Amino acid sequence: MNICVIGPGYVGLVTAACFAEMGNEVICVSRNEEKVNNLNNGVIPIYEPGLEVLVEKNLKDARLQFTTSLEEGVKNSLFIFIAVATPPDEDGSADLAHVIEVAKRIGRCLDAYRVIVNKSTVPVGTAEKVRDAIWSELEKRGIDLEFDVVSNPEFLKEGDAINDFMKPDRIVVGTDNIRTAELIKELYAPFAREREKLIVMDVRSAEMTKYAANAMLATKISFMNEMANICERVGADVSMVRKGIGSDHRIGYHFIYPGVGYGGSCFPKDVQALIATSKESGYKSKILTTVEEVNAAQKKVLAQKIIDYFQHKGGLNGKTVAVWGLAFKPNTDDMREAPSIDIIRRLTNEGARIQAHDPEAIKEAKRVFGKNPNVVYFDNHYDALKDANCMALITEWFLYRNPDFERTKRLLKSPVVFDGRNQYSPKEMERLGFEYFSIGR
The CA distance from 361 to 159, in Å, is: 13
The CA distance from 174 to 153, in Å, is 9
List C-alpha distances in Å: 272 to 207, 278, 288, 338, 438.
Answer: 15, 10, 8, 16, 29
Q: Would you list the DSSP string of 74-101? A: HHT-SEEEE-----B-TTSSB--HHHHH
Q: DSSP assignment, residue 319?
A: -
266 is catalytic: yes
Query: Are the beta carbons of 161 and 181 closer than 8 angstroms?
Result: no
Decide: residue 69, CB within 10 A, 0-12 exposed, 13-18 middle, 19+ buried.
middle
Residues 6 or more apart in contact with residue 236 via CB below 8 angstroms = 230, 440, 441
* Residue 166 CB neighbour total at 10 angstroms: 15
Residue type, 388: A
Q: Is the dihedral of CA 310, 313, 315, 318 positive or negative?
A: negative
What is the C-alpha separation between 261 and 239, in angstroms, rounded?
16
**CA-based end-to-end distance of the chain:** 54
Q: What phi, psi does 418 have (nearest 5°)?
A: -110, 110
- Determine contact, residues 329/323, Cβ cutoff 8 Å: no
Burial class (CB in 10 A: 0-12, 13-18, 19+), 312: exposed
Rounded CA separation 391/253 (Å): 28
Q: Enumerate residues 6+ apart whose C-beta is below 8 A from 273.
A: 86, 88, 92, 93, 94, 121, 123, 211
Catalytic residue among 4, 18, 28, 266: 266
Q: Which residues contact 339 (CB under 8 A, 6 or more apart)?
A: 259, 260, 261, 262, 263, 298, 299, 302, 328, 394, 420
Query: Catalytic site residues?
Result: 266
